[in-house]
Amino acid sequence: MRRLLGALVLAAPVSWIVWTDFVRRGLDIASFSPHYRLPYELGVAESFVMWSVLLFVASRRRGVLKSIASTLFVALFTLIIGVEAAFHAMWNSYLTLDGQLHTRSIFDSLFGALPLGRPLVIFHLVTTFAVAVWTVRFSRRFTKARAWSARLMTLAVLGSFYGVYLFTDKYGSSYRFPTGSPEDSLYLHSMLYSAKENLAIAYPEWAAEHQIERGSTRLHVTRRTPEAVPPLTAAPAKKRNVVLILEESQRDDVTCNDHDARCDRSTPWSNAVTKNRMPLDELHSNASTTAISISTLWSGLRPTDGHDELLSAPLLWDYAAAAGYDTAYWTSQNLMFGNARLYVEDLPISHGAAATTVDAGADLDAGARDTDLTEWVKRDWPEMREPFFAVVHYSNPHVPYLYDKDFAPFQPAERNYSPEKNTEYENYYKDAVYLSDVAVGELVRYIRSTDAGKRTVIVYTADHGEAFREHWQTCHTFSTYEEEVHVPGWIDAPPGTLSDDEKANIEHAQKEYVWHLDFAPTFLDLLGVWEDPALKSFKAKMPGHPITRSERTLAPVVMTNCSWVWECEFRNWGMMQGPRKIEAREWDGQFHCFDVAKDPNEVNDLGEEACAPLPDLARSIFHVMPNVTPPGKKPVDWGQ
């Protein structure tokens, strides 16, 4: 009986792991195909070896090995299983290498960059610690480890840890596919990958090219430490709620910006329910990278501002909460990608959702289904306390583009990256935008059907556009050409939610050049805090102007996909002042100059002199523009 109880105790750690895993995602595990089921079963066996061997050594009554093994067991079990439990409770997803990529601190990696002071995190760590301690106590009572066997088993511990890594490295370590490994395997694999990256092993060529020292990693999103916003007094011109609908990768020329009874573009659904919206036809993003674009949209700062400024800047939710607004952030974006979760993890919100909370198996790039996010928002909406500020952030028009043949009017459409299929591929993208617009249209229809919706101003835009070989590249982040930065935008306000002056100023902005830099000031004005004296020091850092007011941003505006919040794939820069625009990528020896009003396709380079003084100003800001690629060797097609 004692030996039986001892065997059961040794099996307790893996039993706890499997039981909690099935509680969290039992249906997913049960539906694994054989390709993932076998690796999962092997992973469980490997976990059993790892934890039972370590626990067996810890069950010694005396000796140095007992102390070392028991300390290791409790510490590792608490860390690995506790962190995974807390991570899953927050994100409905385990911590995998997707959530560890580009974490620039080993300490942060150990704890999954979780907010350790949050009660939910503390609860799971304390619970797991208690399980670990009691397991060791019971093992010492029912298991008898002799000295020679304990020493032999100590060697097996090291081998079992390495075996877990090998299994997970080969099978199911990413949420791009069904995660065919138990949680401890996923954690160990992600930590080993993070350690490699922090030692510049994962990107040796990149590290050498950029002269990165060992111990540093690629620069991606990290946790903000926002400056505290003092209490603000909201005095909006009219009583209202404010909602930002933010689309992903949506070009201006696939959008019915102004209401169009026909609307033969990709947005007929939102077009049909916003007949009185006020368009912003010359709206431009300041970047074609999501992380950089939203940093500008939500903080009001330039993408070229310094590291400390960008990561200490309050975001719109911080200002709204300081003014007494209820706040929310719902997104179908998969925030595991590039640590995007860290940027929004500490927002002061009462309601929210991310891709993995909507769908645990959400695609890493395209996210959860936008239609599912709309349904989530509809469930939360009645619980919002007026006045409120909220952001609904969609994702599906991102590569690889969520496509549904039943919602695909643009034909022929084909997911084929080859240059000869460019038209079919662009139609495939247009159909993805069309499908996402189904979700937007339903959201707006629902909002307007509610009592709170009658007092809600809706602002709509996209983070950036999308290229289809207009200037050699596909997708986004690769340039500041119009196809990537000219974005849709409109404001829809029910009667009585805007003053006459606000409405007139927005209408005047239809054909004027406005920027995402203007959006944070616009939202702060809609929230009624733009004139609050307590906002003075924050406003001083924002170069934009509220679109709700008559003054426009006339000074040169920077554009870049290289920022302290996100490392660029390769360097590219731009600057605009009205319709005059300069652009360069890292293989260029000089800036290209365009007048986008006369040449919206940016075909005719006017030469630097025609855009003076923008080129000299840009060089003073961006500092360098090396011709790093030999002439004639620039990439011709980034989609290949």
Which of 170-184, 325-339, 379-393 tops mean pLDDT? 379-393
Q: Compute the distance between CA of residue 136 and CA of residue 578 in angstroms, rounded to an integer.
A: 69
> CATH no. for residue 313?
3.40.720.10
State yes or no: pLDDT of 154 exceeds 70. Answer: no
Domain boundary among 548, 567, 601: 548
Contact 39, 167 (CB under 8 A): yes
In a domain, 566, yes or no: no
Q: Which residue has the higher pLDDT, 155 or 540?
A: 540
Q: Compute the distance between CA of residue 429 and CA of residue 231 in angstroms, rounded to an integer.
A: 44
Average pLDDT over residues 545-563: 96
In a domain, 582, yes or no: no
Q: What is the pLDDT of residue 173?
A: 53
Which residues lie below 8 Å from residue 40, measured CB to CB, with a gap of 6+? 29, 32, 171, 172, 180, 181, 182
In a domain, 612, yes or no: no
Provide the token pair at 55.
């626990």
State yes or no: pLDDT of 583 exceeds 90. Answer: yes
State yes or no: pLDDT of 137 exceeds 80. Answer: yes
Residue 163 has phi, psi (to 5 degrees) of -65, -40
500 and 371 fall within a common domain: yes
β-strand partners of 388: 326
150 and 77 fall within a common domain: yes
In a domain, 219, yes or no: no
Residue 343's SS3 state is helix
Contact 397, 433 (CB under 8 A): yes
* Amino acid of residue 480: T
201 and 295 fall within a common domain: no
Average pLDDT over residues 12-22: 95
Q: Compute the distance between CA of residue 68 and CA of residue 150 in angstroms, rounded to an integer.
A: 12
Q: What is the pLDDT of residue 337?
A: 87
Range of the domain at 159: 2-209
pTM over 0.75, yes/no: yes
Domain boundary among 507, 523, 548: 548
271 and 406 fall within a common domain: yes
In a domain, 217, yes or no: no
Q: Among candidates 511, 408, 413, 515, which has minimal Cα distance to 468?
A: 413
In a domain, 555, yes or no: no
Q: What is the pLDDT of residue 165?
A: 58
Query: How many Å separate Cα 275 from the centre of its chain?
Result: 31
Q: In what order do the strands lie in the sheet with 278-279?
A: 278-279, 489-492, 456-462, 241-247, 388-393, 326-331, 351-353
183 and 329 fall within a common domain: no
175 and 253 fall within a common domain: no
Residue 241's SS3 state is strand
State yes or no: pLDDT of 260 exceeds 60. Answer: yes
Cβ neighbours, 10 Å, residue 175: 24
304 and 263 fall within a common domain: yes
Cβ neighbours, 10 Å, residue 221: 24
Q: Compute the distance between CA of residue 541 and CA of residue 300 in angstroms, rounded to an integer.
A: 8
**Which is it for strands 592-595 and 513-515: parallel, antiparallel or unpaired?**
unpaired
- How many CA atoms lie less than 13 Å away from 621 in the CB half-sphere? 22
Contact 545, 551 (CB under 8 A): yes
513 and 405 fall within a common domain: yes
492-548 pLDDT tens trace: 999 999 999 999 999 999 999 999 999 999 999 999 999 999 999 999 999 999 999
Average pLDDT over residues 69-95: 94
326-375 pLDDT tens trace: 999 999 999 988 888 989 989 999 999 999 999 988 988 999 999 999 99
Domain boundary among 209, 233, 252: 209
26 and 142 fall within a common domain: yes
In a domain, 427, yes or no: yes
Number of structural domains (the chain) is 2
Contact 300, 361 (CB under 8 A): no
Min mean pLDDT across 18-32, 37-51, 270-284, 537-551 is at 37-51
195 and 250 fall within a common domain: no
123 and 8 fall within a common domain: yes
Q: What length is written for the chain?
A: 640
302 and 182 fall within a common domain: no
215-224 pLDDT tens trace: 444 567 778 8
> Based on the number of CB atoms within 10 Å of its own CB, is 489 exposed (0-12), middle (13-18) or buried (19 or more)?
buried
In a domain, 174, yes or no: yes
